[in-house]
Chains A and B, each alone.
Chain A
Amino acid sequence: MKALLVGEYRDGKILPSTYELVAFAQKIGAEAAMVMIGDTRTVPKFQGQLLLADAATYGEYNPDAHKKLVQEAVLRKNPDIVVLAHSSYGWDLAPRIANLLGAAQISEVIDYADGAFVVPVCNAKMRRNLKAKTAVTVVTLQAGAFGLAMEPEGTPDIEPLDIPDRVSSVELVSYEAAQKAAVDLSRADIIVSAGRGIGKKENVAMISELSEAIGGQLGASRPVVDSDWIDHSRQVGTTGQTVSPKLYIACGISGAIQHLAGMKKSEFIVAINTDRDAPISEVADVMVLADIKEFVPILIEKLKAVRRSL
């Protein structure tokens, strides 16, 4: 199989997801070339051909030009699959490429088995094995599903890539830096996070009390932050903070992929939930099937008693 990897470059840097594409190509035994809209001074560590277009010329976010550049790379390399990260860059660009090539797209691939691409369904409760009916398949890879066992290495053979048309129907105005997190959860040993399953805003105080009783920090999943129950600076997940504490207690968190990606490296994970099949169960060391409102106050009382006796 021949793969064309679409590397990611933003603000003068190679994004780490680029190496997940390389790991994927290695895992499935594909012969890989890479295409990137970047710059000659900042090339990825990669053994193989790199078709490189200049980001200063075409723009970092110019999907019209990027899709045509990838199309040009496809014409040159004739790949069976075009591989992107399932990221804000990849999911924005991949369908444009698929449409241009008349190709099927398979999104958020987590594995490759028996000649089919494996994807999650319904918040990862189920899996589906898919194949394309088209000659070329465009795939996007779930963040963190594939990783290199070793540090990336190699120096690519650079092949300049240009197209005559630079026109963009979308104008990138600026980047906005992330708000500096008031709370650095990445250094916490214990995190107790609240999800939508806690029911209502008033119950945040209870989870906060639990985090204090156990000597940890309060965290949150995206929905409770979007609902303004807890400040964004405490959000755990791909659009918040990535954490790896010694103990992570997830209260009423179903475990969306974006949340799991931000906390699954925690040393020990406890999930308190009423849904036995919630995706959080995939990463939980202990699943407590209980009603948060009934269970947490009892846990707090017993914790306080233990603390007093220590």
Chain B
Amino acid sequence: MKILVCIKQVPDMESKFRIDADNAWYSEDDLAWRMNEYDEYAVEQAVRLREQIGDSADLTVLTIGPDRVREMMKKALAMGCDRAFHVKDDVALRRDPFEIASLITAFAGDRGFDVIFTGMQSQDRGSAQVGVLLAEMLNIPVVTTVVNFSFADGVITVKRELEGGIKSVARMKTPALVTCQLGLNTPRYPTMPNIMKARKKEFITVNSVDLAKVDARLSTKKMYFPEKKGGLVLEGDAGKLAEQLLDILREKTMVLR
């Protein structure tokens, strides 16, 4: 069984963001980077499937991005992926979902993956498009927002998370793709021996221009910070802050009366 998991490196969402000079994206300087949270669940589920199948399984992890993604890819290898495929692209984060899905399709098109995992969305764009587009371009079934996954006899059974706590159960035959929701599993921490082992694993890098030439379908008119609502901001000594807050609650709410 050939398994693929597609992951993305995103800024830590707690970062102090700045808008880039062209007003079309955030500045990628001086940010802390990590694996997209949804993708951690995707990697974990891919590794679990690989372990379930055993020696006949082969798990590739793919990403598109600049050189800084190597650290994240090493983590994915240490979690249990067999091989890393890095599509080197310095403007990857600015590419729209159609471009990204097209690039992955160019890679995956003739490699015959049986099961593909992606996160359901990225933390920075949150567009929730790439996984579905990829499956549609590859002409394989896809189910999104998966919170439970099982595989037996060529059939994938998943639970989808709907609204208000409702779930649905769906089934499809491989080859197929699932997009992973938070809480699907508990992503493992790489152990020291596995981090060492990962160093010896295959790590392939290709340039995106050598993979495919794709044109964007979206254009950015501007990027900016929203106007702040005029809420009160309190800071300073914790004791004084608590007094201030209680005064406000006394005045503005029914509490403490």
Interface residues of A (CB under 8 A from B): 10, 61, 63-64, 86-89, 91-92, 94-96, 98-100, 103-108, 114, 116, 120-134, 169-179, 181, 189-190, 214-215, 222-223, 225-226, 232, 238-240, 246-247, 254, 257, 267-268, 270, 275-278, 281-291, 294-295, 298-299, 302-303, 306, 310
B160 on the interface (CB 8 Å rule)? yes
Chain B interface, number of residues (Cβ within 8 angstroms): 80
- Once A96-B132, A282-B228, A283-B229 are accepted as A-B contacts, the answer to whether A121 and B26 lie under 8 Å apart by CB is yes
Q: Type the 1/0 row for B226-248, where 1 means its CB is closer than 8 Å to any CB of A.
A: 10110111110011011101101
A-B residue pairs in contact (CB < 8 Å), sample of 6: A95-B97, A124-B226, A225-B183, A254-B13, A276-B233, A286-B245
- Once A121-B125, A283-B229 are accepted as A-B contacts, the answer to whether A306 and B169 lie under 8 Å apart by CB is no
Residues of B near A120 (CB, < 8 A) are 126
- Mark out the residues of chain B between 211 and 227 whose CB falls within 8 Å of any chain A CB in the assembled complex: 216-226
Residues of A near B152 (CB, < 8 A) are none
**Interface on chain B toward A: helix, strand, loop, or mixed SS?**
mixed
CA distance A105 to B218 in the complex (A): 8
Name A291's closest neighbour in chain B (CB-CB): B238
Determine how close the nearest CB of chain A comes to the CB of B234; give it in whole angstroms: 5
B54 on the interface (CB 8 Å rule)? no
Which of B14-22, B70-78, B191-199 interfaces with chain A?
A: B14-22
Determine whether the beta carbon of A226 is less than 8 Å from that of B182.
yes
B49 on the interface (CB 8 Å rule)? no
Interface residues of B (CB under 8 A from A): 11, 13-14, 16-17, 19, 26, 96-98, 120-121, 123-129, 132-133, 136-137, 140-145, 157, 159-173, 176, 182-183, 216-226, 228-229, 231-235, 238-239, 241-243, 245-246, 248-249, 252-256
Q: For the A-B complex with A91-B145, A169-B140, A170-B141 known, give 17 more contacts whose Cβ atoms are closer than 8 Å.
A: A61-B168, A64-B141, A104-B217, A107-B128, A108-B127, A124-B226, A126-B17, A129-B223, A130-B219, A133-B218, A175-B167, A178-B164, A247-B254, A288-B245, A295-B238, A298-B242, A299-B245
Residues of A near B167 (CB, < 8 A) are 175-176
